[in-house]
Amino acid sequence: MSASLSKSRLQGLGTTIRHRCQQLLGPLALLGPAGIWLLLFLVLPTLLILDISLVPDLRPEDVGGAYGLGNYSRVFNPFDPRFDSVYLQVIWRSVYYATVSTIACLVLGFPVAYWLAIMAPRRWRNFLVVAFILPLWTSSLLRSYAWISILRPTGLLNTFITWLSDLIPGVDLPTQNWLYSSAAVFVGLTYNFLPYMVLILYASLEKLDISLLEAAADLGANPRQTFWKVTVPQTLPGIAAGCLLVFITSMGDFVVPTLLGGASSMTISRLIYNQFLGITRNWGLGSALSMILILAVSLAIALLLKYGDRDSVKEA
Amino acid sequence: MSQTVSPAISQSADRRVADVELCQVSKSFGEDTAVNTIDLTIQEGEFFSILGPSGCGKTTTLRLIAGFEQPTTGKIIIQGQEMSRTPAHRRSVNTVFQSYALFNHMTVKDNIAFGLRIKGMGRSPMQQRVADALRLVKMEAFSNRYPAQLSGGQKQRVALARALVNRPAVMLLDEPLGALDLKLRKEMQVELSNLHQQLGITFVMVTHDQEEALSLSDRIAVMNDGNIEQIGSPKEIYDHPTTPFVADFIGDTNLLKGVVAFADHHLLKIQTPEGTTVLAQPSANMPADLKTAVVSVRPEKIHLSQEPPPDEGNCYSGYVKHVMYLGTHLHCVVQLQTGECLTVMQPSRTGLSWASTTPIYASWLPTDCLALAA
């Protein structure tokens, strides 16, 4: 009697375990493909880069080498005999380019997004948004080449300046090669990432409750006060999300600084390229610089997730 | 329904200064006319309601006074000053929004202080004023909460306090109780009325709830389709409607349309197409040479009996088609022999128990019904 009871109990236990397994395996089966993808093409390569970055001056033809922090020390440690401040300068310049183009995108993008979300005629809104993000449909490479044809010595900009000088007597505007300068990089980065900024700000501003703006006016706030005390705080998550996205992508962008920037506008992405495919071929140092870039960008993403509006990022 | 009009206010109303005046104001949005050339004078200290069905232009009228919309034609005068083109932030009015429109990135306290802070008020008098406002709406305990942490009724109170704290000349309330449930709405009605009496500020409220308008207001403007149908005290509006729309919209009524057969100052005889002849009192504004008219008779004024009543008046035979029990009252539908249907309210204690085949009489005095210009 007791044996049969325990047997049935055992069977019950068996069913429970099978059930639990199914509960666990179901989600795993769904996560599987994406998980394997991430593991193979993101986690493993990153670990590989980390591994290489810990071998000082590893070159592609080397079989292996002793582990050490030599690559990082070269970048950060001023007491290292092989320390060269040029790396920190390059990192700093990349941060500077990214910061300036982020601010430029915000200043240029906010009025556009505000107009699209609040003031534009409702039935034109979707069309206008699509029109604005249309440049994203062509590759960033092509768009940078377009800028080359504008900024080069015989380009559109100089043609325009010459035409203007001829038109107005007494005024002689100087023409110059606008290409291969920091200004060209700023223009290129801002132009490339402005649509992303507008899109994210638009998503945020579109959700703004107009009656809040009316309430502020009703309580005596003039348009400027309403903007700073209500509109900006209400859309702050969107502003944060837009800025971080533009900052991160500008930081890592390779095409614009390579095509539009000159020798004096070396950025971290170009430096990494040189270490791997350029003349220096120092994979160890390149990997270390990559890890620094990955960490900096991860930090920005962490900030984005903590303070940014996840919804507007998703919508964009 | 409690009448909250204090006699002092209603008597002296015409001697007081006009706080808000709308002269020939109209507002169009493209092809649509939301407000069609209206005139309105709201007295100082008055509780004025704009009542009407949705889409009648009442909210647009309020938004014109607040300054969120600019009139297409006409003038808006607030406290003797022409304000038609003055933007909202330079008007001495404050609005309680239907959606409350609280700033969700600020605490209750900061929401209420917003207007004072904009005016550049010093820290300590501002804190005093905010504390007073919080006490007035019984929200002292919630001053550090965010709007997301409040219930609908609490948000309503904060919205009220945020407007009141500025001591506006005129308070504008856009369906202030629309989003609250019935019980809370009744409570807030009493509080609104108390606040109005305590502060003596002019209140202009927009509502589609006739009971709310009747119980709270000193005067009501009934709007329909962009026009003002009638302005008057709740009693005037209910007892002496001047248009069929007002008679129908305020309370229940039976409307009988017909041709004027006979008319003098006191009595009108109207013949309906079905052949019923109705005697009725003409309404105050009725033109003398009227051809057709509508008779409005309130369901509670109609008397039902098995024998024809002795007094002269309107008496018609028919039968009770349908009875609904409503607690204190019975709601009956009476089919007249001539074909018309009447809604009749009878106190429950009369205990109507006639079968739908029993012939009965529906009767009312000519003085209990009103003939209106159709």
Report the predicted TM-score, pTM, of the whole model to 2 decimal places: 0.78
Residue with tokens 């008098």: B125
- Tell whether B262 lies on the interface with A, counting CB pairs under 8 A: no
Q: With CA atoms as reference, report the closest residue to A242 among A276, A197, A279, A300.
A: A197
Separation of CA B226 from chain center: 15
Predicted local confidence at residue B152, as pLDDT? 87
Asked if residue A34 belongs to a domain, the reply is no
Look at phi and psi of residue B45 and say left if phi exceeds 0, alpha if psi is from -120 to 50, else beta. left
The whole-angstrom separation of Cα A273 and Cα B330 is 89
Asked if residue A94 belongs to a domain, the reply is yes
Taking 80 as the threshold, does the pLDDT of residue B357 lie above it?
no
Amino acid in the structure at residue B122: G
Asked if residue A124 belongs to a domain, the reply is yes
C-beta atoms of A216 and B93 within 8 A: no
C-beta atoms of A221 and B114 within 8 A: yes
For the record, the structure tokens of B78 come out as 């607030």
User: pLDDT, tens digit, for every residue of A114-127?
Assistant: 999 988 888 888 88
Residue A116 CA: distances (Å) to CA of A112, A120, A132, B197: 6, 5, 10, 46
DSSP-assigned letters across all residues of B256-300: EEEEEEEE-SS-EEEE-TTS-EEEEEEPTT--TT-SEEEEEE-GG
C-beta atoms of B114 and A216 within 8 A: yes
Taking 90 as the threshold, does the pLDDT of residue B171 lie above it?
yes
Q: How many CB atoms lie within 10 A of CB B154?
A: 19
C-beta atoms of A230 and B66 within 8 A: no
What values do phi and psi take at B325, rounded to 5?
A: -90, 125
Between residues A25 and B249, the one the model is more confident about: B249
Least reliable range by pLDDT among B1-15, B41-55, B123-137: B1-15
Predicted local confidence at residue A23, as pLDDT? 80
Tally of structural domains, chain A: 1
Q: Which of chain B's residues have a Cβ under 8 Å away from the Cβ of A211?
A: 97, 99, 101
The whole-angstrom separation of Cα A241 and Cα B40 is 49
Of B68, B94, B104, the CB nearest to A219: B94
User: Model confidence at B76, in pLDDT bands (50, 70, 90)?
Assistant: very high
Query: A311 exposed, middle or buried (CB, 10 Å; 0-12, 13-18, 19+)?
Result: middle
Asked if residue A23 belongs to a domain, the reply is no
Q: With CA atoms as reference, report the closest residue to B159 among B128, B124, B114, B189.
A: B114
Q: Which of A123, A207, A218, A236 to mutate to test the interface with B (most CBs of B within 10 A)?
A: A218
Q: Coil, helix or strand for B231? A: strand
C-beta atoms of B103 and A214 within 8 A: no
On average, the pLDDT of chain A sits at 86
Q: Say which residues have a Cβ less than 8 Å from residue B365's Cβ, sequence separation at least 6.
A: B301, B311, B313, B314
Taking 90 as the threshold, does the pLDDT of residue B163 lie above it?
yes
Look at phi and psi of residue A270 and say left if phi exceeds 0, alpha if psi is from -120 to 50, else beta. alpha
> Residues of chain A whose C-beta is under 8 A from some C-beta in B?
209, 211-212, 214-223, 225-226, 229-230, 233-234, 236
Q: Which of chain B's residues have a Cβ under 8 Å away from the Cβ of A215?
A: 95, 97, 101-103, 162
User: pLDDT, tens digit, for every residue of A263-308?
Assistant: 778 889 989 988 888 888 889 999 999 999 999 888 888 877 776 5
Q: Please tell me the distance in Å from B150's CA to the nearest CA on chain A.
A: 17
Q: Please tell me the distance in Å from A53's CA to the nearest CA on chain B.
A: 45
Q: For A212, name the nearest residue in chain B, comparing CA atoms only.
A: B101
User: pLDDT, tens digit, for every residue of B333-355?
Assistant: 998 888 888 999 888 777 666 77
Q: With CA atoms as reference, report the closest residue to B302 among B366, B363, B238.
A: B363
Asked if residue A164 belongs to a domain, the reply is yes
Q: Are B43 and B80 in contact (CB under 8 A)?
A: no
- Tell whether B319 lies on the interface with A, counting CB pairs under 8 A: no
Q: Which helix (H) or strand (E) holds A212?
A: helix A210-218
The whole-angstrom separation of Cα A143 and Cα B249 is 65
Asked if residue A64 belongs to a domain, the reply is no
User: Model confidence at B368, in pLDDT bands (50, 70, 90)?
Assistant: confident
Q: What is the CA radius of gyration of chain B?
A: 24
Q: Give me the domain span that covers residue A262.
A: 79-315
Percent of chain B with pLDDT over 90: 47
C-beta atoms of A215 and B95 within 8 A: yes
Q: Which helix (H) or strand (E) holds B24?
A: strand B18-29
User: pLDDT, tens digit, for every residue of B78-110?
Assistant: 998 899 999 999 999 999 999 999 999 999 999
Asked if residue A155 belongs to a domain, the reply is yes
Query: B225 exposed, middle or buried (CB, 10 Å; 0-12, 13-18, 19+)?
Result: middle
What values do phi and psi take at B69, rounded to 5?
A: -130, 155
Predicted local confidence at residue B7, as pLDDT? 42
Mean pLDDT for B234-260 is: 89
Taking 90 as the threshold, does the pLDDT of residue B118 lie above it?
yes
Taking 70 as the threshold, does the pLDDT of residue B10 lie above it?
no
Asked if residue A144 belongs to a domain, the reply is yes
Which residues of chain A are under the pLDDT cut of 70? 1-6, 307-316
Q: Please tell me the distance in Å from B52's CA to the nearest CA on chain A.
A: 22
Amino acid in the structure at residue A291: M
Predicted local confidence at residue B16, as pLDDT? 58
Of A211, A218, A221, the CB nearest to B99: A211
User: Model confidence at B276, in pLDDT bands (50, 70, 90)?
Assistant: confident
Predicted local confidence at residue A3, as pLDDT? 56
Q: Are B24 and B37 in contact (CB under 8 A)?
A: yes
Say how many Å lie between the first and final Cα of chain A, rounded.
66
Q: Are A288 and A53 in contact (CB under 8 A)?
A: yes
C-beta atoms of A221 and B97 within 8 A: no
Q: What is the CA radius of gyration of chain A?
A: 27
Q: For A234, name the nearest residue in chain B, comparing CA atoms only.
A: B105
Predicted local confidence at residue A311, as pLDDT? 45
Q: What is the CATH number for A181?
A: 1.10.3720.10
On average, the pLDDT of chain B sits at 87
